[in-house]
Every structure is written in structure tokens, then in C-alpha cells.
Copies of this chain bind each other. A is one copy, B any other.
């Protein structure tokens, strides 16, 4: 059951394969009757061009890679959709990879993707990108766009949001509400997006006391750390989770512990997932344009792929904003004082 190839079409139409190729690709003049014959045969034989063979000669695979930590995090699902839409619009396929933020797994995907001859890779890098890693990325031979801003580096492009400012907004908001004893559910220690949010947050609360707890950037991570926090620092009145999914985990733990949000403890997240408006209570959080990030990242990737090699890397930073809902309020002490 061999698939029908260009050879079959050529044989059946009594012309050379090069003629078939030209005919099907619209390049070059073809006699009208020759064309009709070829087209008819191709249709009859249900000919489908093999794009990988084509790619081998044209040097273009028309595929892109996307490496995220875990597509189950709705943040990455939104982002992936933006990425796929942009790829689709440009006639590209998107290969989805889940790194779990594990370095070796990420490395494996990276080389697998270049061996598959993708024309670009967008990646949420598993760690802070240092000089050595940047060199590695730059040496891959395909454009890479980072989803986290590589601080102080200049070989590789990025699309990111103003993580620092988002963290700052969250901190200032909670401090403004009157909180003084904070906790920071900070995600993975070495992930730059989270690190920046943490640093913004600390500046936002202007040096007030903050317990910082690291974990996976998952619901389970937030859940476990919230429990830890409850026993280690029961006097905490406000939590900033550096993504919404961790905030969801914290909500669950707080709920199970019989704590009411925001009466007993305030909670602010980061991402503004669709579902964040539907939790109990609706989550106050920092909005970032997830879909647009994904879309912009593949568009940039494609630009870079077309551009001559060694154009200067470009960095684009999207804005963020605080979305106030119901999960944060003044601390009980102050609320009482008001009465």
C-alpha cells in the first residue's frame, strides 16, 4: 500500500517528474492540456505531496517547536493556543513539548527539535539563562525565542511580561490594604519569571516581613506550601502566589484548614486565568496577555527565521495589570479597628 508519489503521477501522465512538480507548484509555464492531464491523474491517484521530501530540498520544514513546562497549566494552554494560531496562519506546524522544567528533558527536546529541522523554537526556559546556556541556545542554528527575559544577555530574543512590575503591584496592593506579615508562594527557585515577580513583590511591600516558599509551579506545589505556611507562620495575613495555579492550590489548603479568604487571610495570584474569576472567592490577580504572548513569540520566531542570521536579538515586554476581585481585603486587625 505504498502511497502514490510524484513518480506515479509522472508515469501515468506520460511526463517527467520535474514537469509534474512544476505543474503542482505553479512554477513555470505548463501547456494547458499537459496541466489538465497531470491534475486529473493526480486527483485520480489521490496524490499527496510528501512535504518532508520537499522540505529536504527547499531547506524549510515549516514546523516550529514549543517547549513549555506543562500544557496542563492553563497559562500555557492559552499561550500555546496563541502560538498555534500564529503558526497556522503562517502555514507552520507546532510541535508541543512538556519539559516539566527539568533541565535534561528540555535539553533532549531542544536537540530533537533541531534534528527535526524545525525553523524556530519558542521555549519557557527551565532556569535562569546564564551565559553558557545562552551560548548553547544561540548555537542551535535555529532562532530561539525565550518566554522569559534573559537578564543581561544579548544573543537570544525574548517575549515576556513585566514580571517585576506585576509582583510590585501585588505587593503594594496588599501592603496598601494594611497587611504586614506576608508569604510568598514563589514557584521554582531558579525560574527567572518567578524570581522577578518575587523581587517586585518584596519591593512592593517595602521591606516588610515575608516568608518565601519555593515549589513546583503547580496546584500541588501551592497546596503543599500553603499547609507548610499555616504551621510555620500562622500569623501570616496575606499571600502572594506567583501564579494562579499555585494560588488555587493554596485556596484548597486554606479551605481545608478552615481559613476563610479573605477574612482570615488574603490571597493574590498572577496570570488571570479564565477560571480565576470563578473560584471561591474570585481571585484577585495580575493579568498578563497569555494568548498574545504565544502569538507574538511565534511571529517573532518566524521573522527571525526569515531574517538573515545574526540580526540583533529583539526583546518585547508586555504590560501587566492588577485585577481586583474578592480574595484580598484588609487584615482582620485593621478591619476590627475600623468598627
Interface residues in chain A, defined as those with a beta carbon under 8 Å from any beta carbon in chain B: 1, 3, 46, 48-53, 55-56, 61, 63, 66, 70-72, 74, 77-78, 80-81, 84-85, 88, 93-98, 111-117, 139, 141, 219, 248, 251-252, 274-275, 277-282, 309
Contact = CB atoms under 8 A, between A and B. Distances in A.
A112 B88 CA distance: 11
Given A3-B141, A93-B95, A275-B275, 11 more contacts: A48-B115, A49-B115, A51-B115, A52-B116, A70-B81, A71-B84, A72-B74, A72-B81, A94-B96, A96-B96, A279-B279
> In this complex, which of A84, A94, A275 has the most chain B Cβ atoms within 10 angstroms of its Cβ?
A275
A117 B50 contact: yes
Shortest beta-carbon contacts, A-B, top 10 = A280-B280, A96-B96, A51-B115, A77-B77, A93-B95, A72-B77, A275-B275, A52-B52, A71-B77, A52-B117
A50 B252 contact: no
Contacts of A275: 248, 275, 278-279
Nearest to A117: B52
B248 A141 contact: no
Given A53-B56, A84-B97, A95-B94, A78 B74 contact: no
Contacts of A97: 84, 88, 93
A112 B98 contact: no
A63 B1 contact: no
Contact of A55 (B52, B94, B277, B281): B52
B80 A71 contact: yes
Contacts of A280: 278-282
11 contacts: A1-B141, A48-B115, A49-B115, A52-B116, A56-B56, A71-B77, A71-B81, A93-B95, A93-B112, A93-B116, A251-B278
Contacts of A112: 51, 93
> In this complex, which of A50, A84, A85, A278 has the most chain B Cβ atoms within 10 angstroms of its Cβ?
A278
